[in-house]
Structure formats: C-alpha cells, structure tokens
Amino acid sequence: PQAMMVRAAARTASAAASSPLPSTHTATVPSRRLAACAVASALLCSSSSSSVVGASRPVVSAAARTRPAAAFLIPRTQTPGAAAAAAAAPLRPLRMSSSSSSSAASEPSAADPSDAAISDVPIAQNLEGVRSRITACLSAHNLPPSSARLVAVSKTKPLNLLAAAYDAGQRHFGENYAQECMSKAEEMPDDVRWHFIGPLQSNKAAPLVKRVGLDKLACVETVSTMKLANKLNRAAGEMVAEAEEAEGEGGEKKKKTLGIYLQVNTSGESTKSGASPGPDLVALASSISRDCPHLSIDGLMTIGAPGDYTCFDALVQCREEV
C-alpha cells in the first residue's frame, strides 16, 4: 500500500441505517515515511460499528452510491524507514457520502436543535474502538503512540457530544465553519486544540485567530493564497505582541506561531480551492516562509477527485518539491 489511512465515520441516532454519512476528513501518510505526528480525523460516532480503515484506497459499502473525494494531509515532520502501517490493519467497509465542493459555504448558526436531544450516542465506546485499532496498527510496526493523532471532526455536532468525547479523553477537534469553531472554543475547556479544516474567508481569519487564540488553535489546514496567509499572519502577530507584553509583566509564555497546511488543487478542478502543483505552490510556500514569520507550514492538504487517487501521488510529489 502507498499510504496509511485512518478513518472514522459517524451517523446520528436519528439517521436511518441506509442514509449516507457526512464525508470524512482523511489523513494520509506515504508508506515511504510515516509521519512522526500523523494527523488522523474522525466524525463523532453514533454507531459502535464505525470503522477505522487501513488501506491505500478507501473501502465503501454498497450502501454508498458515490465514491467520496478524500482529503490527504502530509505533515512536514516525518520519520524515515517505516513500513506502511496499513498492512497490519484489517479492512472494513465504511459508508460515506460524496463530499461537496470546497468553495465557501454558508455557516450554520448552531447545531441542529434536534441533535441536542441525542443522549444515547456511545461516544466513549466508539473512541475506544478507534484508538484500539490505531494502537494495534502502530504496535505492529514498532511505532510509538505519538506517531498518530486522532482529530475528531465535530462540525455541526452539539456541545453535549463534544463534551462526551472530551470526558473520554479526546482533546483535538476539527471544525469547518469559523463562527461555529469560535463559539465552541469559548464553551469547551482550554486544553482542547482546534483544527480548522474548512474553507476560510479572509475576513474571518482575524476573528478566528483572536477568539480561539494561538494556544488553542492548533492548525488552519486550508491555506491556499497569500491574501489569507497575510491575514492569518497579521492576526497571529498581534496576538504574539499582546502575549509578549503580558510576559513582560509576569504573564505566562504563549505560543509564537500558528500552524497551517497549504491546500493544493491536485485534481485541477475549477470547483476546488488550492494552489496549483508545481511553481505556484513552491512560490506560495516560499512567500509564506519569507513574509509570514508568525505562520508555520506544517504540511500539505488536498481534496482529490472522486475515485482518482493519482491526486495523492501528485501531493507526494508536491511535498518533495516544497
């Protein structure tokens, strides 16, 4: 297999068994190098049958009519010499819906009120199942637990489900909408780390950084333009200046940079965001490294065309070039 893919899918208690699920956010690491800190993602699970899939291709059950586009992330920091961890994990079917365009979508004002009534979702049980399979996969290849990180994709989910996941030990969550991310960050404990995984409008960059805070905002994974990078860098810089002033007055030391992933349009589809592979991507990475001292390029991300996994090969090549 070319990659390790760790996935988890979910459905709400009100969803019929045959209903397609929200698309998952997938972390993929090339088999030539397993990331020292591979970022995996999952949806909050309402079914204990949710699965983690280790494969170079996603496995979709007959219930899914369309094959989803996959988001591949390649962290910058990697350790050499690791075999493909996917080989150790059994393959299990995963029901998923096709993903939507990466263009900016209208944000929900809040999670569906009806979701708040969900009380029988076995969050802790599902998380334990996911973690057990990740641990088994890593152990089979003599890799430490720190080699993989599970990020629970909590977009549109009510706070009671996030709280249940938190109580079960989950600390990293992924959000698609700026307003929702900001609101949840203010409600959840301070040791939660937030990953922004949706399209981010430049006018929402500063509010996102300032309301969530550099310490709690782990990464913005959809940066594809200098305009957005500059907005994030400026906001992060202002946060750093405030933190340094507080440190001078005896305050605790704060994080100095904001982690980002560069989004790459490897499929060439006009409906998808991202820098073009090749010179455009290299120029973007160079400009950010030179002009945005408060940003740290931690990896690359792409949303591949449905069924076309040459997009992942292209992303591997992009990483080599960058």
* pTM of full prediction above 0.85: no
Q: Structural domain boundaries of the chain?
A: 3-321
322 Cβ contact list (under 8 Å, min separation 6): 262, 281, 282, 285, 297, 300
pLDDT 10s digits, 124-159: 999 999 999 999 999 999 999 888 899 999 999 999
pLDDT at 305: 85
Q: Which of 35-39, 78-82, 118-122, 210-214 has the lowest mean pLDDT?
A: 35-39
Q: Would you place residue 190 in the very low, low, confident or very high pLDDT band (cuts 50, 70, 90)?
A: very high
Average pLDDT over residues 83-88: 35
Q: Would you place residue 322 in the very low, low, confident or very high pLDDT band (cuts 50, 70, 90)?
A: very high
57 Cβ contact list (under 8 Å, min separation 6): 309
End-to-end CA distance of the chain: 24
pLDDT 10s digits, 195-245: 999 999 999 999 999 999 999 999 999 999 999 999 999 999 999 998 888
pLDDT surpasses 50 at 175 = yes
* CATH of span 3-321: 3.20.20.10
For residue 296, with 0-12 CB atoms within 10 Å meaning exposed, 13-18 middle and 19 or more buried, which class applies?
middle
Higher pLDDT, 99 or 232: 232
